[in-house]
Amino acid sequence: MTPLIFAFKLLIAVPVALVLALTAIWYIWESGNTVLYDSYAQKMFSGLENYGLLAIPLFMLTGEMMNEGGMTRRLINAARVFVGGFRGGLAYINLLANMFMAAIIGSATAQIAVMARAMTPEMEKEGYDTGFAAATTAAGGLLAPVIPPSMMFVIYGVLAQIPIGEMFLAGILPGLLLAGAFATVIFVIGIVRGFPKGDWFSGREALSALLWCLPAALIPLAIIGGILFGIATPTESAAIASLIAFLIGWLVYGELKPRTLFEMFRRTAVNASMIIFMIAAANVFGWVIIYEALPQKLAALITSVTSDPFLFLLIVNLILLCVGMLIDGIAAVILIAPILLPIAMNDYDISPYQFGVVMCLNLVLGLLTPPVGVGLYIASSMSGVSPGRILKSLWPFLLAVAVILVLLSRFPWLSTALT
């Protein structure tokens, strides 16, 4: 009965956090073990007693300060220095700027919203098809879950009980691989459609753009460098990055006003609280999973089909693709990681880092695929292009992601080489 209640609530669009919490309550009532009610709140709270979760609001705050402080525009100008003169240069600029933003914001939806507003009108002015311009921006948002710092990696690291810093390192090679695949897609489409040739900056303009970008570049350096060299934990790096973002936006660029801080704190608190509550509810939902022995039952079913880790990951990819189409990526990680990760590690000896990278990249595809497709609709509303038109230009990028997912599933070292 409990699985039916769970599925029904999801189908009628009850928020995932409430689905998890209410399903646990229903299970306790149905099982008759009402003693568990006494520790329900304690169990929910214990799901939040993890230092690493502090990184979530801090990374969100860093993104807010970057947007408000004018750093996004300067990162785009810096990207223009490196790729602006190629055929289809503005499309490459869009991609490279998305890589810079992914290394700072860590949230795909936030990244798509920011970049769609900034880049789509610019590409349209230079003669690019608006559908392709919005699709390139939306695809660039897929870099956010794999290029550190990634919000999904933080949550997955907490759930999997592995070092978040090492999870960040696991995403570097896959992120670069995905960016290379997207660049190849742009190159091929540029030849077929005859994209306009861009203009290179003059030496003086290039130097000016790079110098103005240097302060903003301190943010990803502070995050990744702090973790890589063991100077700070991911949470401490996030706190340092938010302080640097504030000081640069206020004192260097002069676009971030202290009076706007309260509104930024409010937005960060509201957005972070939704994710934090979801994690707390997922901890309670863990009771249902444990008592129903769901991982063991699922493991028995899958191992009867195949004993090959690669085939297992391909099956998981198909499952995750379907789940990602219906449920938000972060909610899906919270929901599915506790079920599938033990099977991957115990029955197939798959590294938690490899599994995490594959899972997070796959689930974020749901942002751009109907019927839910939150990222698709964000890109549409920010760019003024219909979702159907964006989707028509988006499929080559989605195909590239599918190829990368197969490679990540087949070759574990792509995810584990740096950990």
pLDDT at 181 over 80: yes
Q: Are 185 and 403 in contact (CB under 8 A)?
A: no
Q: Per residue in 260-279, pLDDT tens?
A: 889 889 988 887 787 778 77
Based on the domain organization, do 51 and 28 belong to the same domain? Answer: no
* 349: helix, strand or coil: coil
Which tokens sit at 6?
Answer: 């769970």
Q: What pLDDT is recorded for position 413?
A: 93
Task: Give which of 14, 294, 280 is closest to 6, Cα–Cα.
Answer: 14
Which has the higher per-residue pLDDT, 401 or 12?
A: 401
Cα 138–Cα 141–Cα 146 angle in degrees, nearest 5? 150
Based on the domain organization, do 92 and 17 belong to the same domain? Answer: no
Contacts of 169 (CB under 8 A, 6+ apart): 148, 227, 228, 418, 419
pLDDT at 366 over 80: no
Based on the domain organization, do 31 and 175 belong to the same domain? Answer: no
Based on the domain organization, do 256 and 135 belong to the same domain? Answer: yes
Based on the domain organization, do 37 and 107 belong to the same domain? Answer: no
Q: Per residue in 42-83, pLDDT tens?
A: 777 776 776 667 777 887 788 778 777 777 778 777 888 887
Based on the domain organization, do 62 and 19 belong to the same domain? Answer: no
Q: What pLDDT is recorded for position 189?
A: 87
Q: Are 98 and 175 in contact (CB under 8 A)?
A: no
| Domains contained in the chain, number | 2
Based on the domain organization, do 96 and 179 belong to the same domain? Answer: yes
The whole-angstrom separation of Cα 52 and Cα 164 is: 7
The rounded percent of the chain whose pLDDT value lies above 70 is 89
Q: What share of the chain is helix, strand, coil (3-state, %, to 5)?
A: 80, 0, 20
Over residues 236-255, the mean pLDDT reads 86
Q: What pLDDT is recorded for position 326?
A: 67
Q: Which helix (H) or strand (E) holds 152?
A: helix 151-160
Over residues 171-194, the mean pLDDT reads 89
Domain that residue 29 falls in: 1-46
pLDDT at 294 over 70: no
Q: 14-23, 117-126, 314-323, 350-359 — which one is most confidently predicted on average?
A: 350-359
When pLDDT is cut at 50, 70 and 90, the band that residue 353 belongs to is: very high
Based on the domain organization, do 104 and 217 belong to the same domain? Answer: yes
- Asked, as a colleague might, if the bond just before 338 is cis with ω within 30 of 0, I would say no
pLDDT at 11 over 70: no
297 half-sphere exposure, CB direction, 13 A CA radius: 6
Over residues 333-343, the mean pLDDT reads 85
Based on the domain organization, do 36 and 158 belong to the same domain? Answer: no
Based on the domain organization, do 168 and 226 belong to the same domain? Answer: yes
DSSP assignment of 90-145: HHHHHHHHHHHHHTTT--HHHHHHHHHHHHHHHHHHTT--HHHHHHHHHHHGGGTT
- Asked, as a colleague might, if the bond just before 370 is cis with ω within 30 of 0, I would say no
The whole-angstrom separation of Cα 357 and Cα 269 is: 27
Which tokens sit at 269?
Answer: 């608190």
Q: Per residue in 192-241, pLDDT tens?
A: 887 777 777 888 888 888 888 888 878 877 777 777 777 887 788 888 88
Which has the higher per-residue pLDDT, 266 or 13?
A: 266
pTM: 0.79
Based on the domain organization, do 139 and 70 belong to the same domain? Answer: yes
Based on the domain organization, do 29 and 133 belong to the same domain? Answer: no
Query: Whats the size of the chain, residue-wise?
Result: 419
When pLDDT is cut at 50, 70 and 90, the band that residue 293 belongs to is: low
pLDDT at 138 over 80: yes
The whole-angstrom separation of Cα 74 and Cα 90 is: 15
pLDDT at 408 over 80: yes
Which tokens sit at 71?
Answer: 């750093």
Lowest mean pLDDT among 232-236, 243-247, 403-407: 232-236
Which tokens sit at 69?
Answer: 């402080």
Residue with tokens 């938000």: 328
The CA-atom distances, in angstroms, between 4 and each of 43, 131, 299 are 24, 40, 21
pLDDT at 406 over 90: yes
Amino acid type, 94: N
